[in-house]
Amino acid sequence: MWEFKEPKYGDQIRVNRGYYYHHGIYEDDNHVYQFAAPQGSEIAPENALIISTTLEEFLKGGVVEVRSYLDEELKNKRSPEEIISYAKSKLGTGLGTYNLITNNCEHFSNMCAFGKASSNQVEDVLKMLFGGRF
């Protein structure tokens, strides 16, 4: 579940980009960690790295949404300090080649928060296309 509210240290955040949501990890207004291509090379996914930007740059005029967790998810969620530490440790790395289905910004965000890469938006599309048989 996602809420429109002010993010806090270690929160998973996202912004609607029209056809998809872009995900990141919030440290403060000057540090949002995300898996994205640096400015000037956005069209080339092979250039995607873990980068830090300001919240304003991350949002690009959009509205921030903050993830809230189910009780079951909270059992596996890392502490805010662990989330930020993991995100910072990956700065400048590519985590492998960016791939919309298997290695995207939501995979990175969930890896930071849970230690496991996953993408709900990809899973939802695959379920819609293949009826849950993927």
Domains of the chain: 2-130 (3.90.1720.10)
In this prediction, residues 26-52 reach a mean pLDDT of 85
pLDDT at site 133: 54
> In this predicted structure, which of 21-35, 37-51, 58-72, 87-101 has the lowest mean pLDDT?
37-51
Q: What percent of the chain has pLDDT over 70?
A: 86
Burial class (CB in 10 A: 0-12, 13-18, 19+), 35: buried
Per-residue pLDDT tens over the stretch 72-107 = 999 999 999 999 999 999 999 877 788 888 888 999
Q: pTM, whole model, 2 decimals?
A: 0.88
> Taking the C-alpha atoms of 1, 101, 52 and 90 in order, what is their torsion angle to the nearest 10 degrees?
110
